[in-house]
Amino acid sequence: MKSTAEDLVNPSNATAAELSRRGFVVIGAAAAAALSDVACARAQEYGKPHSPIVPEDDPDISVMRPELKPNAGTPIAAYAAKPHAITPNTPGLVVTQHIWGVDATIRDFVRRMAKNGYIAIAPLLYDRLGAPSGDDASDYTTFGPTAEKMQAQGFVSTDLSAGRDWIRTQAAQNKVGITGFCMGAGIVLKQIIGNNNYQAAAMFYGSVRPGTASTDPTTATTFDFTSEITTPLMGSFGARDTSIKPEDVRAMFARLTVPHDLKIYDEAGHAFMDDTRPSYVASAATDAFARLLAWFTKYLR
């Protein structure tokens, strides 16, 4: 399935102008429970570079940087974390990077999932391309060409599969899920079309139209690919996202015949989970993380 410009959304220009970053708001009990790894009082730090939610020296986890050897292409690096206490059935999670690469946001997310009992790994999909660090970066144009080259090389699926295979070296009998953000969420969707390599998937504000752009007219066949999806899929999107149309999201999820969970947050735009950048929306991010934990508990444990 071909790559489209929709897969390479500019996150700095994909949210309705009237949406400004929101502070922490009162949330439901399930969402509040998801904040067990961070004090609510720290919420005002988010939306800009901040200290980690789960630091690398957290006593409950181990952080690793394994080298992956995919079936195609040269070896690549990865960032991984796991609980100290694991069993052969400890669930695993492949984390698919956003446009900024495996930056501070993604690394912290990997550690958060480890803190919540998962063996999590984020393959460095840019590793062969010499991309700059995404930490504190705000200029999308620095990463756009690299992302396009990454897609053109055709190694994304095998790189992610190598991450899944590495998880299995840690817990051979476990179930493995996949999740991703923005560009990575569009990639997640492609990974579950026509195969059952993952037991559950979750996508955050990624393209729901693989092979077509959001500016293309919707036809009767636009979402026919959904018949090839057999993996339970959770989706979290922003109603104020100007790049991923809510009507497309609803239409795609309505065609799914597998278990699915969709929520479109009225107060959020694109990249609302990215707690190091101004697009962050605390209420949506907190609720979506709680739903994510519940989703993977249901299908991976």
**Which pLDDT tens digit goes with each residue over 157-169?**
999 999 999 999 9
Query: Among 127, 159, 248, 270, which one carries the catalytic annotation?
Result: 270
Give, in order, the Cα–Cα distances in Å from 236 to each of 120, 193, 233, 272: 20, 18, 10, 10
**Domain 5-213+223-300 architecture:** 3-Layer(aba) Sandwich (3.40)
In the predicted model, is pLDDT for residue 79 greater than 90?
yes
Whose structure tokens read 């053109």? 152
**Average pLDDT of the chain, as a whole number:** 90
- What does the pLDDT read at residue 9? 63
Euclidean distance between CA atoms 183 and 271, whole angstroms? 10
- What does the pLDDT read at residue 70? 97
Query: Structure pTM?
Result: 0.90
First and final C-alpha spacing in the chain? 31
Euclidean distance between CA atoms 290 and 89, whole angstroms? 22
The verdict on whether 260 is a catalytic residue reads: no
Parse the chain into domains and list their residue ranges.
5-213+223-300
Euclidean distance between CA atoms 100 and 153, whole angstroms? 18
- Out of 10-24, 50-64, 67-81, 244-258, pick the least confident: 10-24
The verdict on whether 270 is a catalytic residue reads: yes
More confident residue, 43 or 53: 53
Query: Among 103, 159, 182, 248, which one carries the catalytic annotation?
Result: 182
pLDDT digits (tens, 9 = 90+) for 117-145: 999 999 999 999 999 999 999 998 899 99
pLDDT class of 147 with cuts at 50, 70, 90: very high
The verdict on whether 182 is a catalytic residue reads: yes
In the predicted model, is pLDDT for residue 20 greater than 80?
no
- What does the pLDDT read at residue 289? 98
In the predicted model, is pLDDT for residue 32 greater than 50?
no
In the predicted model, is pLDDT for residue 25 greater than 80?
no
Helix (H, G, I), strand (E, B) or coil at 244: coil
Mean pLDDT in residue range 107-116: 98
pLDDT class of 26 with cuts at 50, 70, 90: very low
pLDDT class of 45 with cuts at 50, 70, 90: confident
In the predicted model, is pLDDT for residue 74 greater than 90?
yes
Query: Among 241, 248, 274, 287, which one carries the catalytic annotation?
Result: 241
In the predicted model, is pLDDT for residue 18 greater than 60?
no
DSSP annotation of 154: T
pLDDT class of 238 with cuts at 50, 70, 90: very high
Length of the chain: 301
- What does the pLDDT read at residue 27? 37
